[in-house]
Amino acid sequence: MIDVKAFRSISYGLYLISSSTPERSAGCVVNTFAQVTSEPLQVSVTLNKENHTTQVIRESGRYTAACLAEEASMELIGMFGFQRSHEVDKFEPFIVERDSQGIPYVAEQTLARFSVRVTDSFDLGTHLMFIGLVEEAEVLSSGRPMTYAHYHEVKGGKTPPRASSYIADLEAPASVNDSEKASQAPNEEGKSPSGPTEQRSPRYAWRCTICGHIEELDELPDDYICPICRATKDQFERIELAVG
């Protein structure tokens, strides 16, 4: 038998993996970065073959890994974890530095960074595992590293379907109380501007099927964009809220 819940007992950290060629940069969030030997200092990372970052690492033979701090924002994780590098410049909103080879890394909300030269790769079907030598390592700030458990339990984060640890049965809709509250005020349009405002609680919430963000609103505006992953209205599903 396979109890998929057993996989939730495996501990991971969360890392931003970045790479670049003279033409393009790409980055993503992974939980698969790990040190594998100390002499020499070797690390591994496993990425979905369809990820833009995977293609860029194959071309450049190099990447950086930055360890996310526990306080890292969902905006940063959402940008690198749920956006696509060929559609948006993921690095633009954040403080970005480059290593001696010109490979970018996010230098905010991160604790340490590593520069890796890829020496080997293994085809794992859906994913590629890269083995590499650490050529630079630097502490960027003090603090606690973000764990995958913290991301799920405290931040209410979701696992993208292309992640190596994605298990559909473990990604059931989050309860509203588990998720961070909506970052923008509910749309008041259509309500009477005069008189006492009715403080009626919404009966419905909308859950982003991409990142898990929950918006408590009866109706989602047609032009609504998820503040975390930029998904459009059609990627939200309606949840009925319990009337208290």
Regarding 217 and contact with Fe ion (CB under 5 A), the answer is no
Rounded to a whole number of angstroms, the distance between the first and last alpha carbons of the chain is 40
In this chain, which of 47, 151, 228, 236 binds Fe ion, going by CB under 5 A?
A: 228
Distance between CA atoms of residues 46 and 17, nearest Å: 10
Residues recorded for the chain: 244
Near Fe ion by CB under 5 A: residue from 116, 208, 214, 217: 208
Indicate the residue among 63 and 224 with the shorter CB distance to Fe ion.
Answer: 224
As given in the structure block, the two tokens for residue 238 are 């309606």
Cis peptide before 173 (omega within 30 of 0): no
Q: Please tell me whether residue 47 binds Fe ion under the rule CB under 5 A.
A: no
**In the complex, least distance from residue 220 CB atom to Fe ion, rounded to whole angstroms:** 12
Nearest distance, CB of residue 32 and Fe ion, angstroms: 22
Binding Fe ion (rule: CB under 5 A), the pick from 14, 103, 211, 214 is 211
155 binding Fe ion? (CB under 5 A)? no
Contact 91, 25 (CB under 8 A): yes
Q: How far is the CB of 226 from Fe ion (least distance, A)?
A: 3
Q: Which is nearer to Fe ion, 104 or 156 (CB)?
A: 156
> Contact at 8 Å (CB) between 170 and 161?
no
Choose between 37 and 183: whose C-beta lies nearer to Fe ion: 183
CB closer to Fe ion, 68 vs 231: 231
Contact window for Fe ion (CB under 5 A) among 26-34, 35-43, 198-206, 213-221? 213-221
Query: Is residue 207 involved in binding Fe ion (CB under 5 A)?
Result: no
Binding residues vs Fe ion (CB under 5 A): 208, 210-211, 213, 226, 228-229, 231
